[in-house]
Structure 1
Amino acid sequence: MAKTLPRRDAPFEPGRTALLLVDMQRIWLEPGLDPGHADWTADHYFYRETAERVIPNQRRLLESARAAGVEVLHTIIQSLTEDGRDRSLDHKLTPIHIPPSLKEGLPPPELAPVGDEILLPKTSSGVFNSTNIDYLLKNLGIRYLVVAGILTDQCVDMTVRDGADRGYLVTCVSDACASPTPERHANALKAFGGYCWVTDTATVAARFDALALDRGAA
């Protein structure tokens, strides 16, 4: 008899669900800090979108996830060395280099790790390619991986595809992600939508809240 496969939007399970925030760092989120986009002013679409929609939605996800006992992980672009010699060739060519000592390379206070939440530095677009996240998630017993962050069409895209290839049931929270233009954001969601369940903050937060209620009743 054929084994029934789970749906991509299967209900999250307690103890097997994780929330991953991708590259939510001050250097990308605060106007005037990103050397690669020195021409972007504070009213640029990306800064308005992250400040008005993405960060508030991620705060809601974090609050619900933490209350439910959902594992929370953060990944940031950061070299392991001050001179960046450990970076990927792609980051050297771009160039992208955020040394460990750069405070602007950390998440903003409202999205910062709490307690012993895991923070993973990476020097690639895909967190699965330059960190031990797959090993960690398997050690933690994670099957359901909820992803939010920036950029939708770059590092989020890679995380979703690579996570799906490694056997996780991936959820992408569309209104907790952003790209430099709404077109890039929408096109990315359409392109990698076959690898995950694309939904919104309210739906995911409600699922986390339900897990919290079950946890309280146990």
Structure 2
Amino acid sequence: MASQTPLPRRDQPFVKGATALLLVDMQRIWLEPGLDPDHADWPADHYFYTQTRDVTIPNQRELLAAARASGVEVLHTIIQSLTEDGRDRSLDHKLTPIHIPPSLAEGLPPPELAPVGDEILLPKTSSGVFNSTNLDYLLKNLGVRQLVVAGVLTDQCVDMTVRDGADRGYLVTCVADACAAPTPERHAGALKAFGGYCWVTDTQTVVDRFVALGGANQA
């Protein structure tokens, strides 16, 4: 019997030209106190706001800086309807309801996390970015095999991104301290639940790997 090629590991070294960073739903409407109509009662010192301000966003800024400096492809996804009245939304978003029109400035990422140059920004109307965008098509066109994921909410849209990415054959990395949920319990529970679909690690580890790619030969 012919020997089989060993299966890759989820935590195997990143490959230059085949690795991408995806930020999930980092939008002002969720991140800035008083903008989210569904959580108007959350004070500015709510756990989610302090966690994203003090931990999640700073860590994502480090990830972005390292990825950009090393030539790692950067993509962003946001919840946003394609039409002003939201008629294109998924049934789930109509029932919830969730609607962020394309004209709403608060629906875009904050300046420190905004796309730079020709980085791809994908609007979606589902929890899973693979379900309502052409992300899979784009990643394949870009030659990406290893997908590094960070964003909000850990137990919703990040969870869906990780699981769907794994099902489509990507080696997924979740940067735990660059994600957030409304409570630490929800965050930890989600990581435990979907940890079998990805490599769960931290910002510094991923930054170090991105930096190492800067001097690697193109794969």
- TM-score of the superposition, structure 1-length normalised? 0.98
Deviations 1:88-142 (A, max 9, x none): 0110111100000000000000000000000000000000000000000000000
Alpha-carbon offset, residue 213 of structure 1:
2.8
Aligned residue among 202, 205, 210 for 2:204: 202
Q: Name segments (4+ residues, structure 1) moved above 3 Å.
A: none
Match of 1:120 in 2: 122
Match of 2:59 in 1: 57
Paired residue type of 2:133: T
User: How big is the alpha-carbon RMSD for the aligned residues of Structure 1 and Structure 2?
Assistant: 0.9
1:70-81 superposed matches below 5 A = 70-81=72-83
| Identity value in percent | 83
Aligned residue among 162, 165, 168 for 1:166: 168
Alpha-carbon offset, residue 214 of structure 1:
2.8
Rounded Cα–Cα distance in structure 2 between residues aligned with 1:210 and 1:142: 17
1:1-218 superposed matches below 5 A = 1-214=3-216
User: Quick one: structure 1 residues 214 and 3, their matched pair in 2 at CA, closer, same or farther if it must change by over 3 Å?
Assistant: closer
Rounded Cα–Cα distance in structure 2 between residues aligned with 1:47 and 1:84: 27
Rounded Cα–Cα distance in structure 2 between residues aligned with 1:79 and 1:104: 13
Unaligned runs of 5+ in 2: none
The alignment covers a number of residue pairs equal to 216
Paired residue type of 2:190: A
Rounded Cα–Cα distance in structure 1 between residues aligned with 2:131 and 2:213: 31
Paired residue type of 2:39: H
Deviations 1:61-112 (A, max 9, x none): 0000000100000000000000000000110111100000000000000000
Rounded Cα–Cα distance in structure 1 between residues aligned with 2:4 and 2:116: 43
- TM-score of the superposition, structure 2-length normalised? 0.98
